[in-house]
């Protein structure tokens, strides 16, 4: 049972990091916050900086300390999926900034709660995965939580 829950600490850490990142997106100057085009530009600058500065450092570390795994990645990478992820990834930043500065934490919570829907549909279509009753209950509770976050 413990092995099946080994992802929980990582998910909690990820939530902390992601929540901190989202909070910091709301700390932009008012001139940026009040201009949707400026918000998109801001998020694109973040994406470019991440790509140019951080990604090579990660890649070098991975390639030096995990050479065998790096070779597996390079041998079996599907460039069509990578291209699709790049296109989607470039849209995430602007959408996230716009949602955070328009709807705050409620907007982000709604966006994140609803993001499970394409994941579930894709998992069903591409991998034949189905949900058990506990997962359906969790999905309903998450939807209810998103609804309650948006109500006054």
What does the radius of gyration of the chain's CA atoms come to, in whole angstroms? 18
Does position 2 have pLDDT exceeding 60, yes or no? no
| C-beta separation of 105 from 112 below 8 A | no
Upper half-sphere CA count for residue 135 (Cβ side, 13 Å):
7
If residue 132 lies in a helix (H) or strand (E), which one and from where to where? none
Report which secondary-structure segment, H or E, holds 104. Answer: helix 79-114
Mean pLDDT of 15-29: 81
Mean pLDDT (whole number) for 126-140? 87
pTM of the predicted structure, to 2 decimals: 0.59
In 3D space, the residue among 19, 26, 41 whose CA is nearest the CA of residue 90 turns out to be 41
Residue 104: its pLDDT value, please?
Answer: 76
pLDDT tens per residue, range 58-112 = 888 988 999 999 899 889 989 999 898 888 887 887 888 888 777 777 777 778 7
**152 band by pLDDT with thresholds 50, 70 and 90:** low
């Amino acid at each position: 049972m413990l092995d099946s829950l080994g992802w929980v600490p990582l998910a909690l850490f990820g939530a902390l990091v992601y929540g901190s990142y989202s909070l910091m997106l709301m700390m932009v100057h008012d001139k940026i916050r009040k201009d949707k085009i400026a918000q998109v530009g801001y998020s694109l600058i973040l994406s470019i900086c991440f790509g140019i500065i951080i990604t090579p450092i990660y890649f070098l570390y991975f390639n030096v300390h995990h050479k065998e795994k790096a070779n597996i990645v390079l041998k079996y990478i599907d460039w069509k999926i990578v291209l699709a992820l790049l296109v989607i990834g470039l849209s995430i930043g602007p959408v996230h900034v716009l949602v955070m500065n328009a709807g705050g934490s409620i907007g982000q919570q709604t966006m994140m709660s609803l993001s499970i829907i394409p994941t579930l549909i894709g998992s069903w279509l591409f991998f034949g995965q189905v949900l058990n009753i506990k997962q359906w209950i969790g999905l309903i509770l998450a939807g209810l939580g998103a609804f309650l976050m948006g109500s006054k």
